[in-house]
Amino acid sequence: MSALSSWPPTLTASQREELHKSATTWALSRGLCYLPPPIPDVPSTSLILPPAAAIHAPLSLLPTPFPRSLFLSSQRLQSVYNVLYSRVATDTEFLDRYMGCESEEGVGKVDSFTGKLWEGWKSVREEGGYDRQPLHLGLFRSDYLLHTSNNSYSLKQVEFNTISSSFGPLSERVAALHRYLAASTSYYDSSPLLNDKNRFPHNETTKGLVEGLATAHKAYGVPNAHILFVVQPSERNVFDQRWLEYELFESHSIKVTRRTLDELATDAKVDPTSHSLLISNPTSPNSPPIEISTIYFRACYTPTDFPTPSHYDTRFLLERSRAIKCPSLPLQLAGGKKVQEVLTRPGVLEHFLPDVDQNVLTELRGTFMGMYSLDLDISDGGNTTFPKTRAKHLGLVLKPQREGGGNNVYKEDIPAFLDSLSASSSSTIHSESKAWIAMDLIQTPPGVGGYLIRSPPPGSSKEEIEAGRGGAQAEIISELGIFGYSLFGVVDGRKKIEVEKTIGWLVRTKGKESNEGGVATGFSVLDSLLLVD
């Protein structure tokens, strides 16, 4: 498709500057915002004082071309992925085998973070915790890149997210921003594609994510209960979360309570009889505690969220309650990279999706890249040192069981990393390598460009601010995420999906020189789609 290789259209410096000004003003006016980064050497006070300032979220000045047929395919497949991961999360034997601590294949045996989550899950289920609340809520996001091969494009999955699938509300606002700029400026007639409103797909992710949370709240059956957002301290991406909170209240009359794990350690308790999760209200100490219907985790996906053993205790206390978890521990484990690798093996999709048409399974399997377990062969003391991975290292990425960006090992960095694994594994029979997955690199379309806009960091010089006017032009890679939700569980001994739905999308774009892709970690900007045929 020539639209990709010839993108972006030519804009003069003054046109880019005017678009930049319009885009950032619109973003600040419409809540497409971040809290600013902390000033160097000044302690953060965001948990003590109300926010005094905001910056616009990093964003693309123009939408990015994307094949319409592949966008429609990604939406069709999301329903199948919703069902697939709902069924994985309720297959205890499968998760014990591949994510647990007691199986030779289980990554929990060698990855301490995964192991602690699995042990917590095992303890809760042995106590009957999932009999008290059999339902689980998943707010999912399946992430894809375009892959080029033999002069054609295909859709390839990067990963499937089962916890803290963020940027839905802000991405919806980027799509609206690009529609506004197209309508108000025609992008200065720089491309006929930008003058066709039918190429700008609508995005209602906020409504869809809130519908999922509200569905779980209704299933809990206590109308006056709140939904608990478990958040990280000093969260800069707070507006993305607040838009969900406001929509829950305005459209469903559901109130939200926000707490960090540290706050929950003192504020949360589980009623010993009803197993209801109750949260004390420090601002109204004489009022009764707040009952929680649904726990929405925007934290607890990284080991840094658990600096002490007591933080794990708090997480497991929440799991023991009868509130519906989004996600529950088994659903969080189902999002592990090991599970993604196992699903590519012959016959595994058929095991979980026996009722799905073979043509649909073929389309789903077509989104997989080659993935390989990175188990070190220690039969001769570890001297094999991953020969296949070494030979292919320039075409691979190594992934641990982590979320949040910044964790992978790419191409030329792989041999030295394998050396470190070989050295660390020489004294133990359980190699750390089992916690890692090798994945064939997706070959993204070359020559696609864009204009990337970021708010200048604190302390930027006048020259640095001037250099950012109109956005930084770069060759780019764009990642498409499709959102979905599922309310499911084992009810009366039968596995059941109460409701599942495809609900929206996002695009994150980065410069091609960057391997990593997180927005919150500073690698990517938020973007939207321009559908091309």
161 catalytic per annotation: yes
SS3 40: coil
Query: Bridge partners of 500?
Result: 486
Distance separating alpha carbons of residues 262 and 241, to the nearest angstrom = 19
Element (H, E) at 152: strand 152-161
Query: Bridge partners of 148?
Result: 153
- Please state, as a whole number, how many other Cβ atoms lie within 10 Å of the Cβ of residue 498: 15
338 catalytic per annotation: no
463 catalytic per annotation: no
From the candidates 156, 325, 399, 434, give the one annotated as an active-site residue: 399
**What's at 516, amino acid-wise?**
E
Element (H, E) at 242: helix 238-252
From the candidates 60, 86, 142, 166, give the one annotated as an active-site residue: 166
508 catalytic per annotation: yes
From the candidates 116, 156, 259, 337, give the one annotated as an active-site residue: 337
Identify the sign of the CA torsion 418, 419, 422, 425. negative
- Please state, as a whole number, how many other Cβ atoms lie within 10 Å of the Cβ of residue 123: 14
Query: Bridge partners of 502?
Result: 484
Strand 524-527 to strand 529-532: parallel, antiparallel, or no bridges (unpaired)?
unpaired
Nearest to 417 by CA among 374, 463, 446, 457: 374
Write out the two tokens for 4.
């990709």
337 catalytic per annotation: yes
From the candidates 404, 405, 468, 511, give the one annotated as an active-site residue: 404
Q: In the chain, how many H helices and how many E strands?
A: 18, 21
Cβ neighbourhood burial of 418 (10 Å; 0-12, 13-18, 19+): buried
Query: The tokens 């707010």 sit on which residue?
Result: 139
From the candidates 156, 159, 325, 471, give the one annotated as an active-site residue: 159
| 3-state helix, strand and coil shares in percent for the chain, rounded to the nearest 5 | 40, 25, 35
Q: Which residues contact 390 (CB under 8 A, 6 or more apart)?
A: 414, 415, 418
From the candidates 403, 432, 479, 500, give the one annotated as an active-site residue: 403
Cβ neighbourhood burial of 473 (10 Å; 0-12, 13-18, 19+): middle
276 catalytic per annotation: no
From the candidates 508, 510, 524, 528, give the one annotated as an active-site residue: 508
**What's at 521, amino acid-wise?**
T
Distance separating alpha carbons of residues 173 and 107, to the nearest angstrom = 38
Q: Is the separation of the CB atoms in 1 and 65 below 8 Å?
A: yes
- Please state, as a whole number, how many other Cβ atoms lie within 10 Å of the Cβ of residue 352: 17
From the candidates 73, 86, 142, 161, give the one annotated as an active-site residue: 161
Residues marked active site are found at 141, 159, 161, 166, 337, 399, 403-404, 508
